[in-house]
Amino acid sequence: MRCFIGFLVPRALKKPIVELQEKIKKLPIKAKFVEPENLHLCFSFLGEKTEKEIEEISAKLDELSKNFKSFEVMVKGVKLIPNEKYVRVIALDVFDENRVLEGLRLEVKRVIGGDSKPAHLTLCRVKNISEKANFLEEIRKIKDISVGKFTLSSLQLIKSELRRTGPIYTALHESKLG
């Protein structure tokens, strides 16, 4: 099974994120937008794992989660990844004032491994930008947008099933923080 460790975005936050995606769809780009039901934070992409490995990862995740308490996370600011010159992904920045999120991400990487990047919430994967200057000008107007906050109270081991219509994410295991 193809898996990652992350957190599916709470329902209350999906509406403002989808509204932002709708604004971005009007820009001069071709992109594959993340479906509302698939909006998530990814702490570490693990790739293909067996049932036995999933059990081991779940146990490690339970143990690791005991060392962190629930905390508030802010979703604010549009990020162009890797940069403005070569945009592959449009995302939202995700952070907390005390940098607990980054500590949690680094602990997941240390204990479980995988491919881990700083926290962000992917809005779309960019295929092509037809009018770059116009696109960047419009992005700068919404760059500091605040989408909202939520309490991160658990980590999830999520299965990513690739289908012709797009991926389907299913939480296989959830580890409560604290």
**Locus of tokens 């994410």:** 169
In the residue annotation, 120 being an active-site residue is answered as: yes
Looking at residue 57, its pLDDT comes to 97
How confident is residue 10, by pLDDT bands cut at 50, 70 and 90?
very high
**Residue 16: other Cβ atoms inside 10 A:** 15
Span 142-149, average pLDDT:
94
Q: What is the dihedral of CA 46, 49, 55, 58, to 10 degrees?
A: 10
Q: What angle do CA 113, 119, 124 make, to 5 degrees?
A: 110
This prediction's pTM = 0.88
Cα–Cα nearest to 123, from 50, 14, 28? 14
Instruction: Exactly one of 6, 20, 21, 40 is catalytic; name it.
Output: 40
Looking at residue 172, its pLDDT comes to 96
Instruction: Exactly one of 120, 126, 160, 177 is catalytic; name it.
Output: 120
How confident is residue 137, by pLDDT bands cut at 50, 70 and 90?
very high
Tell me the one-letter amino acid at 155: L
How confident is residue 163, by pLDDT bands cut at 50, 70 and 90?
confident
CATH number 3.90.1140.10 given to 2-176:
yes
The Cα 159–Cα 173 span in angstroms is 9
What is the tens place of the pLDDT at every residue in 71-100? 999 999 999 999 999 999 999 999 999 999
